[in-house]
Structure 1
Amino acid sequence: MPLTAHQPSRGGSAVAFAARSAGKAIGVVVFNGFSLPEMARLVEAFQLANTMSAPHADAGLQSAPWRVTLLSPSGGRIASDSSAFVWTEGFDEHVPSSPFDTLFLVEGSGLSAALRDRRVTHWFTRAESNGERLIASARSLRWLRAPSRRAAAFEDAHTIHHDAMRHASRVSETRFAAALQLIEADQGAAIAQRVQRQIAHRTESPFPVSADAIAKRGPSEQIQAAMHWLEAHWNESVAMHEAADAAAMSERNFLRRFKIETGQTPNAFLQRLRFDAICRLLVQTDLPVEHIARRCGIGNGVRLARLLRSRLGVTPAEYRRAPVL
């Protein structure tokens, strides 16, 4: 995906597109474990819209209609679900006098911790009071707009993430559609349609049924059977040929179809299940870290601590005491 990015200086600046002095501000908010393909597709949609409008403006990016910024609660390096990292700006860098037009929330495993932090929910409340639109899953929006629920049990926040993960394809399509609607309202239907066609062309599958068409209709019964099998055996030593057997497919075909139909590899799905269980057990129980690691199929406490550090930037003890974003 060709991206024209403002590169971070000293590792702390966000990826930003177009000039800061021009265009409507779009914020793409990511949490640890976010979907990298979805984030990239949202960013590319606005970048393409900028590119398509540039010939008419004869002033390049200075008059581009959109400027897109990647955001996270604390800023800095954020890990995607594929372990690739992006640099983001923190919420504190954006004051009420410079609001965004629209904020897209791309949920991830780090969402659970974020929703337990009053600073985060207050930032979103302030954003909406400034007239900034929030585009996110329905459950995330309900949580952010219900102050009385913010002190609720951790499992409620976990459920929000698990629900978003199950319906990732549908939620992703809804956010992308919202991006196209913004482009259409500002630049007209012709550019919005060109953006949609160009992105669809770049993501076409070489197989008879396109990946986009499969994602829209959701996982097949065979892939759902494999997902249920993984959900039942996530805490065991799992071989992918066993999951393929549950789907009644060859292992090679299973790996290909799972990726197309869910947007992630079977191993990434399995690791999400394990990571969610680790976070839940750390908060809900007093079990030793070594015990949790063995129960969740991680092996030992050292590997668990390394995983938590890479995903959330905290130790198990720190995560138990309070959410650290």
Structure 2
Amino acid sequence: MSGSGTGGRPGTAAERAHTAFPGPVHGNSRGCDPDALSARAGSAIWGGPVRPARKASPVRLTVTTWNINSVRLRIDSVLRFLKENRPDVLCLQETKCPNELFPLKAFAGSGYEHVVFSGQKGYNGVAILSRFPLLSPEMMGFCERPDARHISAVLGREAGPAAGIVLHDFYVPAGGDVPDRDVNPKFAHKLDFLAELRAWGGRRVAGPAILVGDLNVAPLEHDVWSHKQLLDVVSHTPAETEALETLRGEAGWIDAARHLTPEPEKIYTWWSYRSPNWELANKGRRLDHAWVSPDLAGTVRAVTVSRETRGWERPSDHVPVTLALEL
């Protein structure tokens, strides 16, 4: 299930710290069969062991999620962000990079020697970069496709009070342009993916866990620039928003951004490349999310949207979202 991206045992400490998933999809997925998955899913799949209360001085943990839209193409932007912001963990989506070409040395040189990733050439791809060791990496497959859309790992004991927290990194299918599953296979795939994710997650999240990623859904009215105009636009249709909010609510996940900043305040994390002046038009959507398990809700101190990166050279259309916990 895991191993080096290039085969054999790597020679350096930085190389030994990473785990790649080069082969076919592993996990308990059985295609788009939510009923079959529901019978096997349990709450423990989401989280680690419940931790006792701590009385020591609080420690801050920061976890950033960013759909980078090609990690090799935008490696300079990623390294710049890491240098300027120094998150403890960076979760990437849409890396579009085969495992053997993942830029491990560049990240190790920036202090992120612990990396797990699952890649594909030109498509999809997810990765978790950490300043702390990552344990028990896993990748789940959905809808009988060999797509690199999920990876998870557990923070090691070197993370101090954060040790034992399970990190999930997701890249949900975009869904194409037409919000009709009968005529658009991409939209059907997206809805099936969300249904399978709901079944896989089980009833309730247990233990300390964080779920981040590009979920490609703006679930709430004020997560888009115009609720009325986008009701029939993929990413904000009732079918998608209800699916995402249902799976989040059933599992008990807390939407960290809205936990701190309720509606009607607008929050955007994505601005289309198609807009000639994205900043002036400001027609954004909140597609990138950070959720925490209920036991971590009281530790959430900030959710920061790094809007400035959208104006960098050759930017991703998504911007980093950073979750800060005080443990």
TM-score range, shorter chain: under 0.3
TM-score (norm 2): 0.28
TM-score (norm 1): 0.28
Larger radius of gyration: 1
Higher share in strand: 2
